[in-house]
């Protein structure tokens, strides 16, 4: 084992992993973090904590991860290269590890253009692939990115994102291969609605044997309303929501749409479980965390393994 | 070339209002090509300022000069004959020209009439776009002659990110995803196999991050 990560242990045991996500509050409200995390206890194996998601300022991922860790749960530290240079990133990684956080997700992050500080300087000292290389070097060689030795290196289980639906599609397997070459251990994908396209991508992944080198967890996000489905289809870059799904959501009465959205998610999980190379699920219910337990349960993913 | 755009008239008027004699200096190089600060634009700004101030009941004495190159001390020296008759200098060059004037004429305030934008190229008549950030260690040989540092919104060196949509960047459908362009070009060159080589973390010392930069050519320096 490379790390003490719960995710790594479950993957090594051959069982499916379930992760979820918790966006920290836009203020100093630790109770909010605890409340969201508590809902997930016993239902997921790791909780991603977003890092200024959509370029909006929130409580730091590291601080919220510490709160969650102190609750006896397993946070996954998300970190974007948008806001920090390599000095700041490495010091936060050491800080996180010093608090027992052993799993992280390396991202480039949304451009500040999308958030509440579009006037901010964007850092982008590293990109996500160089970021993965840095964390791996810290872990496996015990060296900082700059080359000097670390006294007690942080042993992080390294995650990253992949979006099978972004363009150009023909590069999507190749870019995953680059992340693997850089040293990524697990991948959480963009929300999967277009199952056919996801399966095509997965086939490309398996054809190259990449599924043996990295654990892929498709992203599952339940839609609350037909409006949300339409919004994601039209407004979110890199999101692929097929017309049939929008129609299906719109085809049920408003008060039943949330339920339909959950049903769609469960069906997706059932189908994706059978896909070669799928090693678990990343269930992101944005500002709807209370629904995660229901999805996990109805998708037959309980009980969660204990180590 | 270095591209620039004229500042809003009101901002320039704020600079000149307290004075009655200005030396308005254009430049015959990049800012002439991008139609921001050449002889023609100097004439237009001069007339505009005089007219605006006339409406306020003031007269403005403007001496118009367009230098061959405002970033070159040799040409900036030519202003010596006009400097005593001016209260301020209003420069229509890029930031380099403005600073060269400030360095040479220490006793006179100098104001920029332009906002210097970027190093770019003309895409077509009237449209210029950013091409280079002067990172000091050019990667164009690896990326098919297309720069991800200057042209990827997140300066991703191993792109494209997950926001690339139909050739466009996640920040706007008006912005090309440079990694789509790079990929198309690598394919056209039959160099697809290069794509999976990881570009390592950049050493930004060669860029602005290493502090203000200087080139010293021993063979040319006196
Ligand atoms: S790699 Fe550097 S020097 Fe070359 S075009 Fe890009 S910014 Fe300019
Ligand atoms: S969409 Fe393309 S240009 Fe825009 S940030 Fe991503 S990789 Fe860069």
Q: What is the pLDDT of residue A164?
A: 97
Q: Are residues B114 and B137 in the same domain?
A: no
- First-to-last alpha carbon distance for chain A, in angstroms, is 14
Q: What is the pLDDT of residue A194?
A: 98
Q: What is the mean pLDDT of residues B155-164?
A: 96
Q: Give the model's confidence band at A236: pLDDT under 50 very low, under 70 low, under 90 confident, else very high.
A: confident
Query: Which one of the ligands is nearest to B136 CA?
Result: 1
Q: What is the mean pLDDT of residues B208-215?
A: 96
Q: Touching check for A282 and chain B: CB below 8 Å?
A: no
Q: What is the pLDDT of residue A153?
A: 98
**Is pLDDT of A287 > 90?**
no
Q: Which residues of B32-66 are buried (b: 16+ CB within 10 A; e: fewer)?
A: bebebbbeebbeebbeebbebbeeeeeebebbbeb
pLDDT tens per residue across span A89-130 = 999 999 999 999 999 999 999 999 999 999 999 999 999 999
Q: What is the pLDDT of residue A238?
A: 85
Distance from CA of A123 to the nearest CA of B (A): 8
Is B219 inside a domain boundary?
no
Q: Are residues B177 and B72 in the same domain?
A: no
B-chain residues within 8 Å CB-CB of A166?
160-165
CB-side neighbour CA atoms (13 Å) of B26: 26
Q: What is the pLDDT of residue A307?
A: 87
- For residue A256, CA distances in Å to A194, A223, A259, A288, A298 come to 22, 12, 5, 16, 17
Q: What is the mean pLDDT of residues A14-18?
A: 98
- For A6-298, CATH number out of 3.10.129.10, 3.40.50.1000, 3.20.20.220, 3.40.718.10 equals 3.20.20.220
Q: Are residues B42 and B113 in the same domain?
A: yes
- Whether B62 is in the pocket of ligand 2, judged by its Cβ within 6 Å, is no
Q: Are residues B29 and B76 in the same domain?
A: yes
Q: What is the pLDDT of residue A163?
A: 97
Q: Are residues B93 and B20 in the same domain?
A: yes
B171 alpha carbon to ligand 2 midpoint, in Å? 8
Is B66 inside a domain boundary?
yes
Q: Are residues B139 and B100 in the same domain?
A: no
Q: Are residues B15 and B53 in the same domain?
A: yes
**Is pLDDT of A270 > 90?**
yes
Whole-model pTM: value is 0.96
Q: Are residues B40 and B77 in the same domain?
A: yes
Is B217 inside a domain boundary?
no
8 Å CB contact of A171 and B198 = no
Question: Whole domain around residue B179: which residue ranges?
Answer: 133-198
Is B38 inside a domain boundary?
yes
- For residue A189, CA distances in Å to A53, A132, A159, B148, B204 come to 16, 16, 10, 24, 31
Q: Are residues B21 and B61 in the same domain?
A: yes
**Is pLDDT of A237 > 90?**
no
Contact (CB, 8 A) for B70 and B93: yes
pLDDT tens per residue across span A28-70 = 999 999 999 999 999 999 999 999 999 999 999 999 999 999 9
- Whether B34 is in the pocket of ligand 1, judged by its Cβ within 6 Å, is no
CB-side neighbour CA atoms (13 Å) of B167: 4
Give the sign of the dihedral formed by CA B165, CA B166, CA B172, CA B177. Answer: positive
* Domain count along chain B: 2
Search chain A and give the residue with CA nearest B169.
A237
B-chain residues within 8 Å CB-CB of A114?
171
Q: Are residues B137 and B109 in the same domain?
A: no
Is B215 inside a domain boundary?
no
Q: What is the pLDDT of residue A171?
A: 96
Q: Are residues B7 and B47 in the same domain?
A: yes
- Whether B154 is in the pocket of ligand 2, judged by its Cβ within 6 Å, is yes
CATH number of the domain that residue B43 is part of: 3.40.50.2300
Domain positions in chain A: 6-298
Predicted ipTM beyond 0.90: yes
**Is pLDDT of B155 > 90?**
yes
């Amino acid at each position: 084992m490379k790390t003490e990560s719960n995710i790594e242990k479950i993957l090594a045991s051959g069982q499916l992993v379930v992760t979820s996500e918790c966006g920290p509050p836009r203020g100093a409200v630790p109770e909010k973090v605890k409340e969201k995390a508590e809902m997930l206890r016993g239902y997921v194996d790791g909780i991603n904590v977003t890092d200024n998601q959509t370029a909006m300022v929130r409580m730091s991922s590291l601080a919220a991860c510490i709160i969650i860790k102190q609750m006896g749960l397993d946070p996954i530290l998300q970190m974007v290269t948008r806001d920090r240079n390599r000095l700041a990133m490495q010091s936060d990684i050491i800080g996180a590890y010093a608090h027992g956080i052993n799993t992280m997700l390396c991202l480039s992050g949304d451009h500040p253009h999308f958030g509440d500080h579009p006037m901010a300087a964007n850092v982008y000292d590293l990109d996500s692939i160089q970021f993965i290389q840095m964390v791996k070097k810290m872990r496996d060689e015990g060296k900082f990115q700059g080359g000097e030795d670390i006294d007690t290196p942080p042993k992080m289980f390294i995650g990253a994102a992949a979006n099978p639906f972004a363009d150009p599609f023909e590069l999507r397997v190749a870019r995953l291969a680059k992340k693997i070459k850089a040293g990524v251990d697990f991948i959480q994908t963009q929300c999967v609605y277009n199952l056919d396209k996801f399966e095509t991508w997965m086939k490309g992944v398996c054809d190259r044997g990449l599924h043996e080198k990295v654990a892929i967890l498709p992203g599952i996000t339940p839609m609350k309303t037909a409006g949300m489905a339409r919004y994601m289809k039209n407004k979110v870059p890199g999101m692929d929501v097929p017309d049939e799904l929008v129609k299906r959501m719109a085809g049920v009465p408003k008060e039943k749409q949330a339920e339909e959205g959950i049903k769609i998610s469960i069906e997706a999980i059932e189908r994706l479980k059978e896909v070669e190379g799928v090693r678990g699920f990343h269930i992101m219910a944005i500002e709807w965390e209370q629904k995660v337990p229901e999805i996990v349960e109805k998708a037959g993913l309980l009980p969660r393994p204990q180590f | 070339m270095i591209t620039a755009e004229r500042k809003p008239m009101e901002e320039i008027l704020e600079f000149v209002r307290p004075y009655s004699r200005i030396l308005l200096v254009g430049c015959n190089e990049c800012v002439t090509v991008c139609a921001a600060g050449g002889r023609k634009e100097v004439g237009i700004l001069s007339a505009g300022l005089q007219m605006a101030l006339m409406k306020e009941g003031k007269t403005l004495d403007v001496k118009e000069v367009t230098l061959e190159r405002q970033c070159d001390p040799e040409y900036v020296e030519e202003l010596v004959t006009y400097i005593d008759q001016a209260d301020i200098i209003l420069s229509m060059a890029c930031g380099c020209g403005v600073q060269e004037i400030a360095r040479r004429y220490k006793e006179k305030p100098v104001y920029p009439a332009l906002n210097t934008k970027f190093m770019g190229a003309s895409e077509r008549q009237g449209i210029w776009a950013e091409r280079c950030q002067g990172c000091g260690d050019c990667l164009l040989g690896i990326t098919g002659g297309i720069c991800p540092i200057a042209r990827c919104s997140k300066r991703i060196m191993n792109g494209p990110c997950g926001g690339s949509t139909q050739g466009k960047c996640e920040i706007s459908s008006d912005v090309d995803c440079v990694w789509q362009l790079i990929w198309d070009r690598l394919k056209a060159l039959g160099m697809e196999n290069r794509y999976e080589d990881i570009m390592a973390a950049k050493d930004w010392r060669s860029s602005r991050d290493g502090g203000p930069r200087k080139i010293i050519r021993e063979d040319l320096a006196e």
